[in-house]
Amino acid sequence: MRLNQEAIRRTHTLIDSRSLPPDAALYVCMSRAARRAESLIRSVRALEHIIERKRGLEDALPRASAGLEARAGGVIHDTVAGTLRHLHQYERRLDAAAAAAAGDRAWRAVEDMPLRLLMASALFQCEHTPASAEHVVRSATEGCAQLGRAWAQAPIESVVRNAAAGRGFFSRAGAAERLSLPAWLHEDLVSNLGARRLDAFGPLLLQRPSRLHLAVASSAGSPSEYAARLSEGSGVAARPLEFTRFGVSLHARPRDVGSLPGVASRRVFVQDGAQQWGVGQLSPVGAGEAVLDLCAAPGGKSRALLLHQPAARLVAVERSRRKAAALRESLAGEGRAAVVCGDATRPEEWAAACGEGGASAVVLDAPCSASGILRTRPEAKVHQSRESVEALCETQQRLLRAAWSRLAPGGELLYTTCSLLRAENEEAVQRFAAEAPGATLAPLRPPRGALSRAQPQGVTFLPSEEHQGGFVALLRKGERGQGRGGRGGGDSSRRRGGSRSTNSGREFLATLSMQEVS
């Protein structure tokens, strides 16, 4: 590993002045070429963590960029996320390049997982970063030694160069390979949405999102005022998100979101427009009545509910203790909110927080395949399979049954996913509505200004430049004594007096703080 002597002297000065953490010193002292190699190796380690342990980007990236300056960490973030977006395509290209190479060492290198990920990361950097292909290839060969595979330097150089050249790959590639989708997912998306729709938005799934959506509390100004402040004061082009009540769309995706006005004070938070629109479909809840947010982490829906339901009290349920603790911190200072650490499929763990009358509204953002948000969750393509989706569908039904059991008569259940698959969306709510007593599906109009389509079971958002993909459905529960043929939950005046669970809810909040719920 080559070290830059002048960089060493500068680094000692920075460490002495406490401007640089000691664990970042080695990286700073490296030559530019050695830094590129180190960046690739850190990217490979993060990819291994994500693929082999089925972890998310948000878990792997902080580890991979630990001790690095923001710019270096950003390169690793882009490399890992970008490689995952293109991985299925890159693997086919690497296989084709290995087949064209002489000798069996090329195949041995391609079949070795760390080396395969190293070559895929190098391909991404060749094609999607300012670094020259020559420099990237040299960094990849240097990375072989750091991985303990010096024997692979020559074959990796040959394979990466040939794969980057393409050599007719795209003229021979199938539709799934061009869109870098697993075969099963491509087949299901074509079956569910049609080939023309998928061809229209499919290329977006290979790109980093170009927009960022924020929800803005009234204390931070109207969406128009906030957008103007960003555009004039921060130089970030922004505008109100027309199909949401509190939304603002940024025509950029800044890395340091925490520096945006109002974010640190929790008056502004990140939430995709499709999710904001979904929360806004619930009818207003009476003073003191409970609104239940199941599978609540990381907390965007909970905070959106507090905006859209100013009179309600919020009960947020999250199974993970770590995520529940983070959610409490996110909602700190909200006197109308309580966080319960519990399994959403087991009402006995959280039902008491809703009060005797149950919840007037429930939001269930169900765990799903994430097939609608592959731009920001590209790891879903290596984590999910047709079998895992079948298991998720059963989990979604258990969650729906649990939510329904604590929904008060006349209440509403908002069901949302980040999926584009019918099995998790239309078929899931249709199946549940057919079995649940008193359940009716409320018709939803597709929002103007969004790429979406409405069906009797709900609204599907298709990925676009403006927003990500997902599904929103609204179920209503009939009043006491009414069956499926009665009025159901369609009368918006059914529960506005706030008398059903107000007293029990006030008593609950009077004796329970968010920090005490475990």
If DSSP codes are grouped into helix, strand and coil, which group holds residue 322?
Answer: helix
For the chain, what is the mean pLDDT?
87
242 token code pair: 């027309």
Superfamily of domain 31-173: NusB-like (1.10.940.10)
pTM listed for this prediction: 0.86
CA 504 distance to own-chain centroid: 35
Write out the H or E segment, with its range, that includes residue 268. Answer: strand 268-270
Stretch among 43-47, 142-146, 398-402, 428-432 having the lowest mean pLDDT = 142-146
| pLDDT for 487 | 27
- Give whichever of 26-40, 96-110, 268-282 has the largest mean pLDDT: 268-282
The number of C-alpha atoms within 13 Å of 63 and in the hemisphere containing its C-beta is 17
Percent of the chain with pLDDT over 70: 86
**DSSP characters over 350-376:** TGGGG-TT-EEEEEEE-----TT-TTT
| pLDDT for 2 | 45
Please give the average per-residue pLDDT across 280-286, as a whole number.
Answer: 96
Three-state SS for 388-439 is HHHHHHHHHHHHHHHHHHCEEEEEEEEEEECCCCHHHCHHHHHHHHHHCCCE
If DSSP codes are grouped into helix, strand and coil, which group holds residue 245?
Answer: coil
Read off the pLDDT of residues 473-509 as tens digits, 9 standing for 90 and up. Answer: 999 999 743 433 332 333 333 333 333 344 444 443 4
Task: Find the farthest-apart pair of alpha carbons in the chain and give their distance in angstroms, rounded.
Answer: 82
pLDDT band at 30 (very low <50, low <70, confident <90, very high): low
As its CATH architecture, domain 273-516 has: 3-Layer(aba) Sandwich (3.40)
Please provide the size of the chain in residues.
518
CA 373 distance to own-chain centroid: 6
Superfamily of domain 212-270: Sun protein; domain 3 (3.30.70.1170)
More confident residue, 420 or 491: 420
| pLDDT for 324 | 96
Measured distance CA(180)–CA(183) in Å, rounded: 9
Measured distance CA(191)–CA(422) in Å, rounded: 10
Read off the pLDDT of residues 367-401 as tens digits, 9 standing for 90 and up. Answer: 999 999 999 999 999 999 999 999 999 999 999 99
Read off the pLDDT of residues 286-331 as tens digits, 9 standing for 90 and up. Answer: 999 999 999 999 999 999 999 999 999 999 999 999 999 999 999 9
Q: Compute the CA torsion angle 241, 242, 246, 249 (nearest 10 deg).
A: 0
Q: Where in the sequence numbering do the catalytic residues fall?
A: 418
Dihedral sign computed on CA atoms, order 349, 353, 358, 361: negative
Domain range summary for the chain, segments of one domain joined by +:
31-173, 212-270, 273-516
216 token code pair: 């803005």
The angle, 0 to 180 degrees and rounded to 10, between the axes of the packed helices 113-128 and 32-53 is 120
pLDDT higher than 80, residue 170: no
| pLDDT for 112 | 95
Q: What is the DSSP letter of 234?
A: I
Please give the average per-residue pLDDT across 178-188, as a whole number.
Answer: 97
